[in-house]
Amino acid sequence: MTLEQEKNPWLAAEVRFDKAAATLGLDDGMRKVLKKPAREMTVNIPVMLDDGRLEVFTGYRVQHSVARGPGKGGIRYAPDVNLDEVRALASWMTWKCAVVNIPYGGAKGGVICSPTLMSDGELERLTRRYTSGIMDMIGPDQDIPAPDINTNERVMAWIMDTYSMHARQATTAVVTGKPMELGGSLGRREATGRGCMIVTMEALKKFRLTPETTKVVIQGFGNVGGMAAQLMAERGFRIIAIIEYDGAIYNAEGLDIQALMDHRKETGSINDFAGGEAIDKAEAMFLQCDVLIPAATENVVTSQNAERLNCKILCEGANGPTTAVADGILAEKGIFVIPDILANAGGVTVSYFEWVQDRQGYFWNEKLVNERLEDIMVQSFASVAKWGETRKVDNRTAAYMLALDRVASAIRLRGIYA
């Protein structure tokens, strides 16, 4: 397999699916049903740019499965969005929702664009036209989008408003990750990073480590990595390195995360931070540490570098940070992997809480949100660990087996409509 093929997210999703399905003993018919997306849509999005030019963008929405409930998944804006990536992410959402046992299926969306080069007005027009294009696929009982790469609360507000205008009523539950004023949930912004912290705390028990004796390296300092760093530092973890797209900062005694956040806010970068030394960003991932959290993009741990990882625990804050080929290398090294479909499921879990609150019209305080998130993450970690121990498989295969079993069970109970 070439490195390009190895980094194809849809091929990686298939490899992991096939391994789990075979170990689980799923029949061929069920494998076919679970593997293929239920529905895909490609839309061409004409947008009038600020300079008067008319440009046409391409957008996608994929529903992988709605067997256990409405589709759920983010929308990303990026120049390298492609249908295979969206398919893979939609399937991961199916398994992620099943692992944490919330009543959703998996979906994902994306638009091929360069959002950093677009004005706010252009982004709003793009978002509203994309929303109208996928209108038949989304809805509180059909498919509930959320923020992802290069989308945020404001984009969700535009989607919610566009949908509501067509529905002729305010429909807050059509998206999650919204501003608080439009039905957002307390604790949502921190949820993915908090989930990473919670499952890492559970993993420490297996190594008889405490936060105070645990050295952590985090790749990515955005919403997931930054929140994980902040919350873990508050619990006493020693965050020795932060890696970003433009550099890396190291301090063997532990970085002052709040000071680093303040520095980044002031300067726009983690570089030149007085509380740490600059190190090569490509080499920082291979520092000796107890926990490595890749929390940025896909395909950062590959067959080319997995052998060099020097951690005990790999907690996947990003979606698909490890290629399928690298899985075997990590297993041989004895690295305890907390797979993405468990590790970063805190975000979709609190998105579920937001959807529930919107539909009830009754909102919870942040303490209750965080307590319920911790309950689900701890229980889900235990379920995955139990599957792995009883069936003698690695954590990723265990998580996939648990997810496939839950989705397959739902399909068997529902039957096949003919």
The whole-angstrom separation of Cα 42 and Cα 61 is: 7
The whole-angstrom separation of Cα 230 and Cα 215 is: 14
CB 65 within 8 A of CB 105: yes
The whole-angstrom separation of Cα 116 and Cα 311 is: 35
Residue 95: count of CB within 10 angstroms of its CB: 29
Nearest to 334 by CA among 355, 302, 354, 306: 306
The whole-angstrom separation of Cα 177 and Cα 184 is: 6
Which residues participate in catalysis according to the annotation?
108
Q: Give the start-end residues of each E strand in 36-104.
A: 39-48, 54-65, 71-78
CB 224 within 8 A of CB 191: no
The whole-angstrom separation of Cα 283 and Cα 308 is: 10
CA-angle at 247, arms to 243 and 252, nearest 5°: 55
Q: In what order do the strands lie in the sheet with 143-147?
A: 39-48, 54-65, 105-112, 71-78, 143-147
Per-residue burial over 127-152, b = 16 or more CB atoms within 10 Å of its CB, e = otherwise: bbbbbebbeebbbbeebbbbbbbbbe
The whole-angstrom separation of Cα 187 and Cα 305 is: 35
C-alpha torsion sign, points 314, 318, 322, 327? positive
Nearest to 112 by CA among 138, 86, 92, 139: 86
Show the tokens assigned to 101. 């046992």
Residues whose CB falls within 8 Å of the CB of residue 263, separated by 6 or more in sequence, listed in order: 270, 272, 273, 274, 275
Q: What are phi and psi of 295, to 5 degrees?
A: -130, 35
Report the length, in residues, of the chain: 418
